[in-house]
Structure 1
């Protein structure tokens, strides 16, 4: 659906915290196992990404409403879980997994709907993401005081290992300042 339907029963607002939500979000019609249906209006996130992912061996669906993910069972009007707000792209990976791109890291969706986040990869932006089998590669933005640059990275989904990227920690480094 492109807009909220006007000729069917009232939609049910779906949000992270059961708040009342009356604005147009991402409307989806669900069909229950008993043959009845209902219309959900998902509160949107911060991007244009709208998608529904069906898991092959599960009754669960992942509804991505403008960057926010809602893990749903079509028989229930309340989400199983809600996460994210700024996902901008989704990619199919090996082993029936999906990779969601955010501004600074990735989220991996397993075939059963469980998910996990990578460590932070970028200070502020990911670009040119490619997924081949179990390897995600791309560019991570590194805003520098003298030049802005994009740094290559690779992330192995099986070993959960990051190589490259622009984000680094200042932990265990000598501070450049001292309190007197």
Structure 2
């Protein structure tokens, strides 16, 4: 019988992403992971500990094979995964990236795109790609570069307007 695995611990009975786990004592159990919104399915073992990264249709579950409860759950829309330097993994979402360190900890970049990333390439500690910028007269793709070591973004299509005068206020 499947054991449902979800982000909130509530039962899940639809067909999800089934995975068979083997415990150190030789027993096994089968998890049914609640899926996310994409087709990305993958299982990755972390070398620094016994944990696994289970990507169930775009949703990530950090699991210890002996426990039916996830250590962490994050994301729902990851569409691609890349290997970077220092044994890091880079997950592509619609508007930003998530970096998973070799021990399973993870962090998110700032928002890079208004709505879509494309042509992602990873070279050493740099990520290159295109960020979608919907314009009123013509849509465009804007180049970006993200440095994993310094956590700095160059380019992209998402601009914050924090320290600018709002257009609707009269001064």
TM-score range, shorter-chain basis?
over 0.9
**Alpha-carbon distance between aligned partners in 2 of 1:103 and 1:178, rounded to the nearest angstrom:** 32
What 5-or-longer segments of structure 2 have no aligned partner?
none
Q: Give SS of 1:95's match.
A: helix
The answer to whether residue 140 in structure 2 is matched with residue 139 in structure 1 is no
TM-score, L = length of structure 1: 0.93
Quote the residue 1:95 is aligned against: 86
Following TM superposition, by how much is the alpha carbon of 1:43 offset from its aligned partner in structure 2, in angstroms?
0.1
**Alpha-carbon distance between aligned partners in 2 of 1:115 and 1:178, rounded to the nearest angstrom:** 40
Quote the residue 2:10 is aligned against: 19
**Alpha-carbon distance between aligned partners in 1 of 2:163 and 2:99, rounded to the nearest angstrom:** 29
Following TM superposition, by how much is the alpha carbon of 1:178 offset from its aligned partner in structure 2, in angstroms?
3.2
Quote the residue 1:148 is aligned against: 139
CA RMSD between the two structures: 0.9
TM-score, L = length of structure 2: 0.97
Q: Give SS of 2:86's match.
A: coil
> What is the aligned residue count?
170
Quote the residue 1:35 is aligned against: 26
After the TM superposition, list the runs of 4 or more consecutive aligned residues in structure 1 that deviate by more than 3 angstroms.
Answer: none
**Alpha-carbon distance between aligned partners in 1 of 2:51 and 2:109, rounded to the nearest angstrom:** 23
**Alpha-carbon distance between aligned partners in 1 of 2:134 and 2:162, rounded to the nearest angstrom:** 19
